[in-house]
Structure 1
Amino acid sequence: MTVQNADRDSIRHGKITEKPLRERPSFPTWAIKLTMAITGLLFALFVLGHMVGNLKLFMPATDGVPALDSYGEFLRTIGYPLFPREGFLWIIRIVLLVAIVLHFYGAFALHGRSKRSRGKFKRTNLMGGLQSSAARYMLVTGVILLLFIIFHLLDLTIGAGVASASFEAGAVHNNMLATFAPERWWVTLIYVIANLALFLHLTHGIYLAVSDLGWLGKRGHAIMVILAYWLPAIVVIGNIILPLSITFGLVS
């Protein structure tokens, strides 16, 4: 490895320079990778649970209350009365927000360190297939997902800006029907594109997380195929079916 700004006087006289190749980082790389692995798997579990809950859109109403609205009320009353109404839900939101900050910090920190270490040399197609493409665009898909999270919160949680004119807090079923109405086809398109980015991000992210956590043993390959390919595929297909079904009039 070439040492930048080497002590050429020492080298000329046969002395070994004791200067480090690079400055010691404030946070070790292994700690950042561990943090990203844990937060990444946390997000994977969250999007899986979120998708399963949203599929209640297709379930029949009970006593005139849509199943999706009952599910939304359940989330707001988890732990009540031990926790105040929506208290546990806010704990989940805060944990996810902290995880997002840590995940993005780790992503850009590792990207910067990797770029400085490689210099002008580039490593391409080392893994082959879909994993190489997913790895190449991890930062891009990550930024797309961050922008989509903001859009999604404004659209179906806060009800501001991009939300439909008929948004009503707590009316999850009707809000979903309104936002994916045929005349708002562009919202459906945004959700489809974001979920394709989610598939690429998850498939490589889960692979890296399981690998960094040391769960890839001799028999781990079969499990990895399920985790890194089938799980993201199931999540994304479930997420895409929802807006498409409403936009094309299959759910009302």
Structure 2
Amino acid sequence: MAVSTAPTSSSGGAATRSRKPWISSFWLKIIMAVTGVIFAAFVLVHMIGNLKVYQGAEAFDSYAHWLREVLYPLLPHEGVLWALRIVLSVSLVAHVWAAVVLSARARKARGPVRRRGLPLRSFAARTMLVTGIVLLAFVIFHILDLTIGAQPAASDSFEAGSAYANLVASFQRPWVAVFYILAMVVLALHVSHGLWTATHDLGATGKRLRAIALAISGIVAIVIMIGNISIPFAVLIGVVK
């Protein structure tokens, strides 16, 4: 007499289907999109503030001091600055975590197959994880250099509170200036593709809207890159000293 194995198979299939990830790829993409927009907005505003270095030491140091006094005494000294740091730190952890999980899922779904011969325009997309790692390393170095003043990242003359002098002393080291410039090129690639992808992940699927988003993401990335690169270059040639 034949014995049916259908119930066992069905049970196994049900068990397989029940093993779903605790967070879907959809929400991981949303997390990456939102945190990516937060970072892009911060980098743009940060770049605009840094351009005050062209107004001289007094203007730049006053700007750095103002950042610590925003809404004081309503909020504690450096209250807004620390709130911003917390938001950025949480966003950074969430962004990196979501990127790693999505990348692992993509590799698992793709298997051993590797696509070749992709067009040049997809270069930024294919290197998002790599550029992200480079930017993470840059952020760590940047904090050690100009925020904490930890050696050997910071210059020998680092002095807490002397924002202008610390920046100039740091970029007077050619290797730091070159590293910063290269990091800004990497940042432009990451931001341009990241913002464009974020508009799609956040629901902007219309053809015209996506075209506008593509243009804006490119413009924002280029503006950030040129603005930031101009500073170490100006220090190296002696315009800012």
Q: Is the structural similarity TM-score above 0.5?
A: yes
Aligned to 1:129: 120
1:186 pairs with one of 175, 180, 202: 175
Superposition map of 1:12-161 within 5 A? 17-18=13-14, 20=16, 23-59=19-55, 61=56, 66-124=58-116, 128-130=119-121, 132-161=122-151
Specify every segment of 5 or more residues in structure 1 that has no aligned partner in the other structure, as ranges. Answer: 1-8
Structure-2 residue corresponding to 1:204: 193
Aligned partner letter, 2:188: F
User: How big is the shift at 1:21?
Assistant: 6.3
Distance in 2, Cα, partners of 1:180 & 1:49: 21
**1:220 and 2:216 are equivalent in the alignment:** no
Q: Aligned partners of 1:95, 1:57: CA distance in 2, in Å?
A: 26
CA deviations 1:24-55 (Å, max 9, x no partner) are: 10111111111110000000000000000000
Amino acid across the alignment from 2:206: G
2:124/2:190 contact within 8 Å kept? yes
Q: Deviations over 1:38-86 (max 9, x none)?
A: 0000000000000000000112x5xxx6211111011101111111110
Match of 2:184 among 195, 199, 202: 195
Between 1 and 2, higher relative CO (CA 8 Å, sep ≥ 6) is seen in 2
3-state secondary structure, aligned to 2:207 = coil
The amino acid of 1:209's aligned partner reads A
In the aligned structure 2, how far is the partner of 1:35 from the partner of 1:204?
A: 16
Shift of 1:88: 1.1
1:237 and 2:226 correspond:
yes
Let me know the Cα RMSD of the aligned residues: 2.3
Identity of aligned residues (%): 44
User: SS of the counterpart of 1:82?
Assistant: coil
Residues 21 and 135 of structure 1, relative CA distance in 2, 3 Å threshold: farther
User: What is the rounded CA distance, in whole Å, between the counterparts of 2:117 and 2:158 in structure 1?
Assistant: 46
Structure-2 change in CA distance of 1:226 and 1:66 (3 Å): farther
User: In the comparison of the two structures, how many residue pairs are matched?
Assistant: 235
Partner residue in 1 for 2:156: 165
| TM-score normalised by length of structure 2 | 0.90
| Cα shift at 1:17 | 4.8
* TM-score for the superposition, normalised by structure 1: 0.86
Q: CA deviation at 1:222?
A: 3.6
Structure number with the higher helix fraction is 2
Match status 1:175 vs 2:172: no
Gaps of 5+ in 2: none
**Pair 49,234 (structure 1): closer, same or farther in 2 beyond 3 Å:** same
Distance 1:42 1:149 in 2: 15
Q: CA deviation at 1:124?
A: 5.0
Preserved contact between residue 69 and residue 78 of structure 2 (Cα < 8 Å): yes
Helix, strand or coil for the counterpart of 1:168? coil
